[in-house]
């Protein structure tokens, strides 16, 4: 069993009734757990799950989706509940609702409101190394530059191309964005679910770029039980970015298939001090293949 400190990782989960009975078998408290905000759940369920995780010793990062929040009063209530439990890190997105439930239509508006409520919140934002189905490159660049000054970190969409991720890091450097970046990778997931989630998460081009990584072969074989294995992708990202100053670690989209995570987590990098270096330096090592 690994802790976040060992593996430099975060797990993203969906609120569910059995989460707290299954999660400790995979990652120990105080590991960081990112909690989604799906349209049919709403922010209240995300916050309630985050509060439960905090009370069990975890470090939750609740997602708040701008379009799912019905009013400023609702937002303030949710934020106060989080502060009362000591939760000060958030991940803000626009969300998947087609029309806003209240006054917020994009994450930039929500960030401003959160910061006005309390400057103590640390805010993470989304990044799109391989594009987004609803926005062009210029729109994504403009949005990122507007939000970056208010943000403390960035989490990428679920990606399959180490080269695209590496190029994205360089584009951040050129644009003057210096946020720590968590690289989003899928946990073990069936090809059927991956394809279903792909369009919604904005990874259509990512799937095409995955040729040669094992994804193309999985797609050709067909079958609901075939899984995509991110091990090779993780190794390639580590080789390219291990010493990059913006690389924070891996953000694993679990799809709540927690029982299948241990094999993937065993392949994640282990952080250990670099000899003769300062305390903040680290070298990421993979276990030897057998």
What are the respective helix, strand and coil percentages of the chain, to the nearest 5? 40, 20, 40
User: Tell me: domain 4-285, CATH 3.30.413.10, correct?
Assistant: no
Q: How far is CA 289 from CA 9, 231, 263, 270, 272, in A?
A: 21, 11, 13, 14, 19
189-190/122-127 β-pairing? unpaired
Confidence of residue 142 (pLDDT cuts 50, 70, 90): very high
Per-residue model confidence as pLDDT tens digits over 73-125: 999 999 999 999 999 999 999 998 889 999 999 999 999 999 999 999 999 99
Residue 189's closest CA among 148, 147, 225, 137?
225
Helix (H) or strand (E) holding 252: strand 247-253
179: left (phi over 0), alpha (psi -120 to 50) or beta: beta
Q: Report DSSP state, residue 286.
A: P
Q: Report DSSP state, residue 260.
A: G
Q: Tokens standing for 55? A: 């009370």
The alpha carbon of residue 252 and the mean position of all alpha carbons in its chain are separated, in whole angstroms, by 7
- Residue 24: per-residue pLDDT: 93
Q: Report DSSP state, residue 116.
A: H
Other CB atoms within 10 A of residue 114 CB: 21
pTM: 0.84
3-state SS of 130-141 is CCECCECHHHHH
Confidence of residue 218 (pLDDT cuts 50, 70, 90): very low
Q: Are 75 and 83 in contact (CB under 8 A)?
A: no
Per-residue model confidence as pLDDT tens digits over 157-198: 888 889 989 999 999 999 999 999 999 998 887 767 766 665
| Out of 148-157, 258-267, 279-288, least confident range | 279-288
Residue 251's closest CA among 237, 239, 232?
237
Q: How far apart are CA 273 and CA 85, in angstroms?
A: 33
Q: Are 153 and 246 in contact (CB under 8 A)?
A: no
């Amino acid at each position: 069993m690994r802790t976040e400190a060992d593996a430099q990782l975060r797990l993203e989960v969906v609120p569910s009734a059995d989460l707290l009975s299954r999660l400790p078998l995979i990652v120990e408290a105080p590991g960081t757990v990112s909690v989604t905000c799906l349209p049919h759940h709403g922010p209240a369920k995300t916050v309630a799950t985050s509060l439960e995780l905090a009370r069990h010793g975890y470090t939750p990062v609740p997602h708040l989706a701008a379009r799912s929040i019905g009013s400023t009063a609702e937002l303030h209530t949710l934020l106060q509940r989080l502060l009362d439990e000591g939760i000060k890190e958030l991940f803000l997105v626009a969300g998947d609702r087609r029309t806003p439930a209240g006054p917020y239509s994009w994450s930039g508006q929500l960030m401003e409101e959160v910061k006005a409520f309390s400057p103590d919140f640390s805010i993470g934002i989304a990044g799109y190394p391989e594009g987004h189905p609803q926005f062009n490159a210029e729109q994504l660049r403009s949005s990122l530059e507007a939000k970056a000054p208010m943000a403390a970190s960035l989490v990428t969409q679920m990606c399959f191309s180490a080269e695209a991720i590496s190029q994205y890091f360089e584009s951040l450097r050129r644009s003057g964005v210096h946020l720590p970046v968590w690289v989003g990778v899928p946990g073990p997931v069936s090809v059927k679910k991956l394809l279903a989630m792909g369009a919604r998460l904005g990874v259509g081009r990512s799937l095409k770029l995955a040729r040669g990584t094992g994804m193309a072969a999985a797609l050709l074989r067909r079958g609901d039980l075939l899984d995509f294995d991110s091990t090779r992708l993780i190794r390639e990202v580590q080789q390219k970015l291990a010493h990059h100053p913006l690389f924070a670690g891996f953000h694993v989209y679990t799809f709540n298939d927690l029982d299948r995570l241990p094999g993937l987590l065993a392949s994640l990098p282990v952080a250990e001090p670099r000899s003769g270096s300062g305390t903040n330096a680290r070298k990421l090592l993979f276990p030897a293949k057998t």
